[in-house]
Amino acid sequence: LEMMQLGFLQDTSHPYHITYDLIHPDDHNNFLVAEADCISGKTDRAKARFRVKVQDDKWRWIQSNAVVVERSVDGDALRIVGTQTDITETINLVNIKRDFVAIVSHEMLTPLTKIKGALSLLKFVIDDAEPAAIERLLQMGISNSDQLINIINDLLEMKQINMDTLSYVTERKCLNFIMKKASEE
C-alpha cells in the first residue's frame, strides 16, 4: 500500500486485486498472462514489469516476482507468494543512459564526419590546390579532432564528478573568440 501510495483499504477481502485497476492499460495483459502461466504451472515464476498509477496520476514501475508455494493434489494453485519492487528509479536511469549515449554518439559523429570530409577533400586537391586551401582543410581536421578530444575530456570529467574527485578551476573566456570559432565550423 505504501509503495503504491494507497491509503487504508476499507474492503480487504481481495487487496491484491485492487492493484489490477491501477496497472497501466498497456501493461495489464503482460501482468495477467505472467500470473496465469505461473498459477497454471506453465511457468515456475510469474515475472512481470508494469506501471501502476499512484497519487497525483503519476506512474511508478513495479517488478513483480511470484511463485506458487502450495498446490492441491490435483495441481491447482492454493497459495502464491511474491514480491513487488518499485524499480522506477532503475528504469529512469536506464532511460537517461540510453539518451546520454545517443547524444554523445551524435556529438562525436559530427566532428568525425567533418574530419573525414576534410581529409577526403585534401586527398583530391593536394596536387592541384593552393597552399591556403590545403591549410584550411588541415585546420578543419585539426579543429574537429580537438572537438572530439574535448568531448572525451568532458566524459572523463563527468566520471570524476560522479566519483567526487574533480577539482574545479574557473577562468574567464572571451565569448567573441568562442562564437568566431563556432561560426568558422
Q: Find the angle CA(170)-CA(173)-CA(179) to the nearest 5 degrees.
A: 140
Place of cell 573525414: 116
pTM passes above 0.75: no
Q: What does the pLDDT look like over 161-181, one tens digit per residue?
A: 766 776 777 888 888 988 888
Please give the C-alpha separations between residue 40 and each of 17, 33, 80, 161, in angstroms, as whole numbers: 18, 10, 12, 50
Q: What does the pLDDT look like over 57-114, one tens digit per residue?
A: 789 899 999 999 999 999 999 999 998 899 999 999 988 888 887 788 778 778 888 8
